Amino acid sequence: MKRAWQAFLIYSALTVGLTYPLILQLGAVLPNDAGDPALNTWILWWNAQALPYTSAWWNAPNFFPIPGALAFSEHLLGLSLLATPIQWLGFSPQVAYNIVLMLTFPLCAIGAYLLAMEVVGREDAAWIAGLLFGFAPYRIAHLPQIQALAAFAMPFALIGLHRYLREPRTSWLVLFGAGWFLQAICNGYYLLFFGVFIGLWMLWFASPWSRPRAFAPIMAAWIAASLPLVPLLWQYQVIHRGFGFTREFGAIRDFGADVMGLLNAASALHYWGWLHVYRRAEGELFPGLTIALLLLAGAAFLRDESSSSGKTWTIVRRALIALSLVTALVSLRAQVIGPWRLNLFGIQLLSVSNPTKPLTFSLLLAIGLALTSRRLRYAYSTRSVLGFYAMTASLMWLFSLGPGPSLMGKPFVYRGPYALLMFFPGFSALRVPARFWMMTVLCLAVLGAIIFDRLSARHGWKRMTLAALVSLGVLADGWVAPFPLVPTPAAWAAEHCSDRQETAGGKGALMELPLGDSFHDVAAMYRAMSHGRPLVNGYSGFFPPHYAALRFGLDNLEDDVLTQLSLHGVSHIAVNADDDREGVWRRFVGGHKGTQIVCEEGQQTLYRLSPAPAVPPGRAATPLPIAMIRANVNDAAVARMTDGDRTTRWESGVQSDRVEMNIDLGAVRSVSALELALGPFVEDFPRALSIEVSEDGASWREVWRGGSAGLAFVGAFTSPGDVPLRYDIQPTPARHLRLRLLANDETYYWSVAELKVLGS
Q: Which pLDDT value is given to residue 15?
A: 97
Q: In whole angstroms, what is the distance from residue 266 CA to residue 135 CA?
A: 13
Using one digit for the tens of pLDDT, what is the confidence trace for 730-758? 999 999 999 999 999 988 999 999 999 99
DSSP per position, 175-204: HHHHHHHHHHHH-HHHHHHHHHHHHHHHHH
For residue range 495-508, what is the model confidence (pLDDT) as tens digits? 556 554 443 345 78
Q: What is the pLDDT of residues 243-290, one digit of tens each?
A: 888 888 999 999 999 989 999 999 999 999 999 989 988 999 999 999
List 745's β-bridge partners, or say none: 655
Query: Which CATH number belongs to the domain containing residue 750 in this structure?
Result: 2.60.120.260
Express each pLDDT in 197-249 by its tens digit. Answer: 999 999 999 999 888 999 999 999 999 999 999 999 999 999 999 888 888 89
Instruction: Transcribe 353-411 into DSSP letters.
Output: S-THHHHHHHHHHHHHHHHT-HHHHHHHHTT-HHHHHHHHHHHHHHHHT-SS-EETTEE
Q: Are 44 and 100 in contact (CB under 8 A)?
A: yes
Residues 664 and 716 in one domain: yes
Q: Does residue 148 lie within any of the structural domains?
A: no
The domain boundary residue, chosen from 583, 608, 633: 608
Does one domain contain both 602 and 544?
A: yes
Query: pTM above the 0.95 mark?
Result: no
Q: Which range has the worst mean pLDDT, 132-146, 317-331, 581-595?
A: 317-331
Would you say residue 238 lies in a domain?
no
386 lies in some domain: no
Is 161 among the domain residues? no
Looking at the domain assignment, is residue 76 inside a domain? no
Are residues 700 and 572 both part of a single domain?
no
Question: Do the domain assignments include residue 408?
Answer: no
| Integer Cα distance of 84 and 48 in angstroms | 5
Last residue of a domain, one of 347, 363, 379: 363
pLDDT of residue 423: 92
Task: Say if 744 falls within a structural domain.
Answer: yes
User: Is residue 594 domain-shared with residue 652, that is, in the same domain?
Assistant: no
Q: 593 and 554, same structural domain?
A: yes
pLDDT surpassing 90 at residue 302: no
Residue 25's Cβ-count burial label (10 Å; 0-12, 13-18, 19+) is middle
Measured distance CA(249)–CA(418) in Å, rounded: 12
Give the pLDDT confidence of 508-542 residue by residue, as tens digits: 899 999 998 999 999 999 999 988 889 999 999 89
Q: Is the Cβ–Cβ distance between 263 and 137 less than 8 Å? A: no
The DSSP output letter for 269 is: B
Residues 660 and 585 placed together within one structural domain of the fold? no
The answer to the question of residue 469 being in a domain is: no
Our count of domains for the chain comes to: 3
DSSP 548: H
Q: What is the pLDDT of residue 754?
A: 94
Q: Are residues 317 and 353 in the same domain?
A: yes
Based on the domain organization, do 653 and 549 belong to the same domain?
no
Q: Do 592 and 648 reside in the same domain of the chain?
A: no
Q: What is the pLDDT of residues 16-68, one digit of tens each?
A: 999 999 999 999 999 999 999 999 999 999 999 999 999 999 999 999 999 99
Identify the band that residue 307 occupies on the pLDDT scale cut at 50, 70 and 90: very low
Task: For residues 689 and 592, state if they share a domain.
Answer: no
Q: What's the mean per-residue pLDDT of the chain? A: 88
User: Which has the minimum average pLDDT: 351-365, 451-465, 481-495?
Assistant: 351-365
What CA–CA distance (Å, rounded) separates 394 from 277? 21
pLDDT at 327 > cutoff 90 = no
Range of the domain at 550: 494-608
The residue-averaged pLDDT of 398-427 equals 89
The pLDDT value recorded for residue 312 is 53
Looking at residue 436, its pLDDT comes to 97
Which of 346, 363, 380 is where one domain is finished? 363
Give the span between the Cα atoms of 324 and 371, in whole angstroms.
14
Return the amino acid letter for 78.
G
**642 shares its domain with 528:** no
User: Is residue 685 located within the same domain as residue 709?
Assistant: yes
For the chain, give the percent of residues with pLDDT over 70. 87
pLDDT, tens digit (0-9, with 9 covering 90-100), for 572-609: 999 988 888 888 999 999 989 888 888 887 778 899 98
Whether the pLDDT of residue 433 is over 50: the answer is yes
Rg of the chain over Cα atoms, rounded to whole angstroms, equals 31
CA distances from 568 to 562, 571, 585 (A): 10, 9, 21
Element (H, E) at 218: helix 212-226
